[in-house]
Homo-oligomer: A and B are copies of this chain.
Amino acid sequence: MWKNVAIIGVGLIGGSIGLALRERRLAKRVVGVGHRAASLRKAKRIGAVSETTLRLERGVEDADLVVVATPIAQIVDQVREAGVASRPGTLITDAGSTKATIVASLDGQLPDGVRFVGSHPLAGSEKSGPAAAIADLFVGRVAVVTPCPTTAAGAAEEAADFWSALGATVFMMSPEEHDAALASTSHLPHLIASLLAEVTPREDLPLTASGWQDTTRIAAGDAELWTQILMDNRRNVLNSLARFEKTMQAARRAIERGDAKTLRRLLTEAKAIRDAVGS
């Protein structure tokens, strides 16, 4: 489906994209671009890429599709750099967890004929690095493609085809809609999980069981990556957090008053929402 795909950043997401492209025979060449030779070697050894380079401009020069799968603080610069080195007609997308800042920063910044549209595959994990990559990471998962009014014709559809080809279900929405929704469904849960781990007294850790383990699992995610995400999307995160605090205060008051009825209603509603999503 693609002749040459360049993947910038061969960690969990980039590595999994490469594995999926190659196992599904969706690309003739997959070039891995990175700044650490060891990661690139690892990505090539597991079969995620067919060749590698430390030089971004070399990696993208023949690409018809460039996927930037690096931490969000690097994405804007790397898309710009890839844009300058790409041939006209190339589609560039990314895999960053936030979209509004990235998409706005790139608006009107790319050479004529080079197209960019933002993407976000909802397929992270608390693990990272090419060693954690798997070919079916995107199967049955959601990928969001976020066109804006100035996105070039066809770019969003082409990016959607790409994520669909990797097995994902694609949603299209504006970068702003994406960031507001993900604040609730991903960024706030990460913050809350981290707070919960943080306030657990060390001496009580032997008495944790599967409930604590599930609830705090994502707190094992990369701290720098998540600092970037939470700060980039801070306005939406603070809105989601305010909603959480309000409901938490209502729960606290119910517990203080011994008001079992209010607490039971809250837990029953929460269970209904959780049951609706499934495992």
Contact = CB atoms under 8 A, between A and B. Distances in A.
B198 A181 contact: no
B181 A213 contact: no
Interface range, A side:
35 or more
Nearest to A190: B211
B207 A240 contact: no
B205 A277 contact: yes
Q: State the oligomeric state as a number of copies.
A: 2
Given A195-B270, A196-B244, A238 B209 contact: no
Contacts of A252: 238, 241, 245
Residue of A123, A199, A203, A213 most packed against chain B (CB within 10 A): A199
Contacts of A125: 210
Interface of A: 122-125, 141-142, 144, 171, 181-182, 184-186, 188-224, 226-227, 230-231, 234, 237-238, 240-241, 243-245, 247-248, 251-252, 255-256, 258, 260, 263-264, 266-271, 273-277, 279
